Structures are given as C-alpha cells and as structure tokens.
A and B are shown apart, each in its own frame.
Chain A
Amino acid sequence: MSKAMVVDDSRTIRIILTKMLSELGLEVCPAGDGKEALEVAEREKGAFSVIMADWNMPEMNGLELVKRLRSDPRLASVPIVMITTETETRQVMAALEAGANEYVMKPFSRDIIADKLRLLGVIA
C-alpha cells in the first residue's frame, strides 16, 4: 500500500485527512509539526507517495519544512501538497518555488483532495 505523510498541527485536520486518504487507498503517517515530520520521514526512510503539509505551523512553517524535505535525496521527487487558507496564497507561491508541487485551500473536500492526487499521479 502506498504511504502518505500528513503534517498538520491541527489534530482535527490530521484526522480528516487521514480518513480521506485512507479511503483513497493510502496508508497514512501523521505528524503534528515539522520536526516530527522529519523524524517520521527518517523512520520511514522517505518511502512516501505524497506528503501533505500545512503551511501555518508553529516553530517550522511549511516553507521551511519543504526546504528541509527537499534537501533529503530520498524525498527529492516525492510530491508535496501544501494545505493552506485562502489568505496565504502569497506564501504558498514561495513554497511552490521552494519545491512544493501543489496546494489545497481550506475548506477542502475528499473530491478536491482526490483530484490533486490524480493530477500528481499518486492515485489512478
């Protein structure tokens, strides 16, 4: 089963995304912040089909996390989807320039997530 990592400091969003991604056939490794995401990436040896990360997190924001993930050769080509609110589009553009592949705006539905994952070739 393909693995996805969900990085969000909101427990609610982690639960929702875990359910949505599980329904789409992905095994989900959740992480509550950027530091934990790097630990999970190390533990799983970078074996992810996709990483979904919140932009707005304490201590390490989405931009910094994308840079750190992309500096790991094992994660260099793993699709990264940023999750954000509408107001953070400027910052998301910076994350895209730093190596994120796509972004999803809150509120999102399972169909929106599925469309993004299909676009990235993560699911059929």
Chain B
Amino acid sequence: MDGPKREELYEAVCRATEQVFATMLNLEIEAGPLVFEHGFPGHFDGVMSFVGMAGAWLGTGSLFCSAACARRIASSFLMMEFSTVDAEVLDAMGELTNIIIGNVKGAIEQSVGPMALSTPTSIVGRDLTAHSLGRYKWTVVSFQCGDERLDVMMHLVPRSQPDPEMELRRKALARS
C-alpha cells in the first residue's frame, strides 16, 4: 500500500473537521492551506489532544488550540458554558479528536488498510513542550474558527518503515 496522497489526506482532514463542526457544534470554520512541518509542533500554550492509530500503518492524530478556543468548542459541543478548561472541556476535546481522526481514518483506510484508534488523551498548560518519537513530516491543517485557530495534525508511516530514533536505540541496545 502506497498510503494516502498529501491532497487526499488534506481533503479527508478538511471534510471530517468541517462535518463535525457543522453537525455537532454549529460553528463555522474555514480551512487554511495544507502545511507540512518537520517534527512534532513542539512548544505551545493551550490545549492539545491526540489519538494513536495502529494497523499496517502507524500514526498519531492531534488537535491543538488555545484554552479560549477549547472552552468555546466545549461550550458548543456540550451546550453549557465553561469559564476554565476543566475535565469536561478536556473530555470534549478528546472526543472531538476521536470523531475527527476516526472519520479521517475511515476516509483513508482504502490507502492504508484498517487501523485501530487508541483512547484519546488531552492536556492543557502554558509554555509546554511536546515531543513525538515519530520524526516524520506532520500534515497540519489550520482552521479559522471565529477569531481563534484550531490546528488538526496527523502523521502516518507504514509499519515496516523504521523510526530513526528507535533504530538508533535498537543499535545501541545491540552494542551493549
């Protein structure tokens, strides 16, 4: 399997995100252009949620936005107001990630084969540094949601492709 083309992944991310926002949140969003970033977008303030994918291909899907944007999304999602990013806001962001990435996964499974999704995780904080062992290019689509920005990020690699960092560790272990 060759995997999804960049445009296919971009369209799947746009379609899934726009559909979820229109159907469950009643919020208008506008997709920006496709961006490829080398390495996991690392330094941030706000809310990041992510979910793992595993099958013949492996990957991670992630949502990132400011705390204010997360509160706005959770308020629309759960039909109640939130003054802080609490457990319910984080749950809502995790579920949103689950639905969006789950739908993207469904759209690209013809290219990558069936994959299972992990349980989503959400974190909130200021001046945080995130690091992923997946040292591959991330597909990033930035959506404008009112005055706020929501990034949907994905990376996918075939299972047989060795992770450079894991390969270094494997060689170090073999030497010791």
- The answer to whether the Cβ of B98 comes within 8 Å of any Cβ in the partner chain is yes
Contact indicator B19/A107 (Cβ below 8 Å): yes
* Residues B86-123 near A (CB distance < 8 A): 88, 91-92, 94-95, 98-99, 102-103, 105-107, 109, 114
Residue total for A at the interface (Cβ-Cβ under 8 A): 15
- The answer to whether the Cβ of B79 comes within 8 Å of any Cβ in the partner chain is yes
- The answer to whether the Cβ of B85 comes within 8 Å of any Cβ in the partner chain is no
- The answer to whether the Cβ of B78 comes within 8 Å of any Cβ in the partner chain is yes
Known: A10-B91, A10-B98. A87 touches B105 (CB 8 A): yes
Residues of B within 8 A of A107 (CB): 19-20, 23-24, 99, 103
- The answer to whether the Cβ of A2 comes within 8 Å of any Cβ in the partner chain is no
Q: B109's contact among A15, A19, A87, A112, by CB below 8 Å, is which?
A: A87
Residues of B within 8 A of A10 (CB): 91, 95, 98
Could you tell me the distance in whole angstroms from the C-beta of A115 to the nearest C-beta in chain B? 13
Contact indicator A109/B105 (Cβ below 8 Å): no
Q: B102's contact among A13, A15, A16, A85, by CB below 8 Å, is which?
A: A85
Could you tell me the distance in whole angstroms from the C-beta of A117 to the nearest C-beta in chain B? 17
- The answer to whether the Cβ of B77 comes within 8 Å of any Cβ in the partner chain is yes
* Residues A107-124 near B (CB distance < 8 A): 107-109, 112
Residue total for B at the interface (Cβ-Cβ under 8 A): 21
Known: A12-B95, A16-B77, A16-B78. A106 touches B88 (CB 8 A): no
- Secondary structure dominating the interface of B: helix
Contact indicator B103/A85 (Cβ below 8 Å): yes
Q: Using CB atoms, name the residue of chain A closest to B94.
A: A12
- The answer to whether the Cβ of A11 comes within 8 Å of any Cβ in the partner chain is yes
- The answer to whether the Cβ of A86 comes within 8 Å of any Cβ in the partner chain is yes
Q: B78's contact among A15, A87, A108, by CB below 8 Å, is which?
A: A15
Contact indicator A86/B95 (Cβ below 8 Å): no
Residues of A within 8 A of B109 (CB): 87
* Residues A86-101 near B (CB distance < 8 A): 86-87
Contact indicator B91/A106 (Cβ below 8 Å): no
Contact indicator A109/B24 (Cβ below 8 Å): yes
Knowing that A12-B88, A86-B102, A87-B103 are A-B contacts, what are 8 other residue pairs whose CB atoms are under 8 Å apart, sorted by A's residue number? A11-B91, A12-B78, A15-B88, A87-B114, A106-B20, A107-B23, A107-B24, A109-B24
Q: Can you name 18 A-B pairs with beta carbons within 8 Å?
A: A11-B88, A12-B78, A12-B88, A12-B92, A15-B88, A16-B24, A16-B77, A19-B78, A85-B102, A87-B102, A87-B103, A87-B109, A106-B20, A106-B103, A107-B19, A107-B20, A108-B24, A112-B23
User: When A and B form their complex, which 5 residue pairs have the shortest distance between CB atoms, in order from nearest?
Assistant: A87-B106, A85-B102, A86-B106, A12-B95, A107-B23
B→A interface (CB under 8 Å): 19-20, 23-24, 77-79, 88, 91-92, 94-95, 98-99, 102-103, 105-107, 109, 114
